[in-house]
Structure 1
Amino acid sequence: AICLIFAPFLAFAFLVYDLGPGEGRQWIRLARALWWAGAIPCMFFTILKIGEWLSRSLSMDHLNPSWCLTPASNLLAALVAPIIPVFPSNARGPHTPFSGTLFGQSSTAIELATFFWATGIFISVILLVLTLLAAITTPNLTPEPMRSTCYVWLTIPTLGGLSYLVINLGKAADTVTVVAWFSSSYYVSLVLFMGLCAAWLPNRQFFGRNKFDMSYWN
């Protein structure tokens, strides 16, 4: 998952913008630069990855939950884009209501976030179903280090629900529907987490059969 190299830029962009001292333009510019430095490569490698999947002969044995990290990086970009001023024209002064959006961003920034969200959620849902099916029905997760990647499943409903809420809450006429969609994604994350916790039980032994060390993640 080469997107892991660039996804931290998106998180740092939010931290710089939210925790930077004051509202100086230098922090806004840095946050914007970090977002673009992370978002563009993530989308680029997502497109390349789709082409790779289509051009190769793959089977269910090749699937593992780490594949979900690629579209999850796009969901992270969609989450951060409505919060920081990704376009220079919106980087003046503190947060103010603009175009009916929640964080005072322009409709162009919201459309950009929607583009990343739509791309990420479409691929994520497909991969979530396929990798969950692979974990249940095939032995491809038999090596213990591969099983730790199952926790990547939690990123899909979590980032998907949060980004949908941030994008739509300020502009949607029916906020109840937006909040309900976010609540549904939260409950899906909760059920997945409890299911993964249940897999640690001694009578299940899906996790924890090998000694936990750095080689566990190789």
Structure 2
Amino acid sequence: MAVVSSGGEAITKAVAPGSSKGLEVIKQEISFEGESIGTAPVAMRFDAVDENIRSVEQRINAGELDARQKIAEEATTMGMVIAGISLAGILGPGLVIYIATSRITVIPISRIISSLDEGAKQVASASTEVSLSSQPLAVGASEQAASVAQTSSTMDNISEMTRQNAKSAGEANEVMPEAKVLMGRGQESMGRLSEAIGQVQTSADETAKIVETIDEIASQTICWPSTLRRSICGVWFEIS
């Protein structure tokens, strides 16, 4: 433990436990809102300053530097010490404020993080439910894709049949003139057949009249013997 005086102000320095060699701690008293709240340890490397001083002393003893250089280097060293003390005075309150504010902010932040964690869990659960519900949709989409494929195949077949029908229609259009000629000839033949049927009907009517006449003659011929016998019998009866 050593005490270094600078401008009438005493600063306590000590090697921090577990620190590297030459790493020393300045304990600076800290006040907050006019009230002392303790000391803040600030680490500084005084070994570099001591080593620099020893080097200057050796060089003075060796005659390499004059007194003016020694004073300048000592002033530089003291300036470094003062700068370190000033840095400790600046950083000390900031460190205390940081600790105080961290206690105020860490707990709400922890609560926010917990809320975010819970929200993330809920989002993960909802994502799982969405994934499970999307599986039937995927199956339905696959079935619809299969139906679309079948419909596409059916449409291809219908298109092929349409092309064949169009081809057949074209061939039919080519054959239509000949068919019209044949139909005209058929109509002429039908007219002739109708005339022949009319003539046959006329001949049949005439034949029927002839047959009717023959029937009448036959009936009369059949009745003649009876009439003749009755006539003969009547004459004989009269004679008797």
- TM-score scaled by length of structure 1: 0.25
Larger strand percent: 2
- TM-score scaled by length of structure 2: 0.23
Larger helix percent: 2
Instruction: State the structure with more CA Rg.
Output: 2
